[in-house]
């Protein structure tokens, strides 16, 4: 009996081990939820800005060492026409639609790259406990389409570090998309939500019909 078990074990060890690509890469599972359901899925938390410094989030890095900073990568990806990119990955022209205010621009100088959930808000909502490397990954998240968005500088600076309880895009038609993008980013990075923020998001969701939230958990 022992010899049979030993033979079987030896045979099994000789078999090739097959692992699916998703399992091999530890791929995340995409999630799609109605906006109202997604808002309910956010974990409650009490916000604290103690110790926050913008420099705690190293941003606009060149993570893949292709000479293009995160800012340049977003400008290139979001241009509706083939952008002009000069030496050193300097983006000099293209066509960008700022969905916050419905404005189209062709010169990148009028654009800011907005962190959908601002760095200070992320700090308040859980990032204060992260490692510096994790905060850097958050601040340069090119793997989720709406984590970073090119918008007019004036709307980005009007938004500053406010959450949806205190600031929404001036273009009313953009607000359902904005709320979905905000919630997707918080869920992706497991950031918490305070009571005023949740109330505001629920209020928006009531008027957003079939708006969905799609995200993949950050690795």
Residues 21-79: tens digit of each pLDDT: 333 344 558 999 999 999 999 999 999 999 999 999 999 999 999 999 999 999 999 99
Kindly state whether residue 142 falls inside one of the protein's structural domains. Answer: yes
Mean of pLDDT over the chain = 90
Kindly state whether residue 6 falls inside one of the protein's structural domains. Answer: no
Q: What is the DSSP string of 76-120?
A: HHH-SS--EEETTTEEEE--EEETTTTEEES-GGGEEEEESS-HH
Structure tokens at 17: 């081990």
Kindly state whether residue 8 falls inside one of the protein's structural domains. Answer: no
Q: What was the pLDDT predicted at 93?
A: 98
Kindly state whether residue 38 falls inside one of the protein's structural domains. Answer: yes
Q: What was the pLDDT predicted at 219?
A: 80
Which domain covers residue 209, as residue numbers?
Answer: 29-215
Beta carbons within 8 Å of 101's beta carbon, 6+ residues apart: 151, 152, 154, 155, 169, 170, 171, 174
Q: What was the pLDDT predicted at 28?
A: 59
State the total domains in the chain. Answer: 1
- Given a cut of 70, whether residue 217 has pLDDT beyond it is yes
Distance CA 45, CA 32 (A): 23
Kindly state whether residue 125 falls inside one of the protein's structural domains. Answer: yes
Entry pTM: 0.86
Kindly state whether residue 48 falls inside one of the protein's structural domains. Answer: yes
């Amino acid at each position: 009996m022992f010899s049979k078990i030993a033979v079987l074990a030896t045979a099994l060890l000789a078999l090739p081990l097959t692992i699916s690509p998703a399992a091999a890469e530890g791929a995340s599972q995409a999630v799609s939820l109605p906006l109202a359901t997604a808002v309910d899925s956010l974990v409650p938390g009490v916000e604290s800005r103690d110790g926050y410094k913008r420099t705690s989030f190293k941003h606009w890095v060149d993570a893949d060492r292709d000479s293009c900073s995160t800012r340049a990568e977003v400008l290139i990806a979001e241009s509706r026409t083939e952008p002009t990119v000069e030496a050193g990955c300097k983006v000099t022209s293209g066509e960008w639609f700022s969905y916050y205010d419905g404005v189209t621009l062709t010169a990148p100088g009028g654009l800011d790259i907005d962190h959908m959930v601002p760095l200070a808000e992320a700090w308040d909502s859980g990032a204060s406990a992260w490692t510096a490397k994790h905060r850097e990954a958050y601040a340069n998240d090119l793997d989720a389409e709406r984590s970073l968005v090119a918008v007019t500088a004036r709307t980005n600076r009007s938004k500053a570090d406010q959450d949806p309880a205190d600031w929404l895009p001036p273009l009313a038609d953009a607000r359902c998309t904005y709320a979905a993008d905000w919630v997707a980013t918080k869920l992706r990075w497991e950031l918490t939500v305070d009571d005023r923020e949740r109330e505001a998001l629920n209020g928006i969701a009531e008027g957003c019909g079939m708006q969905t939230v799609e995200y993949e958990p950050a690795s």
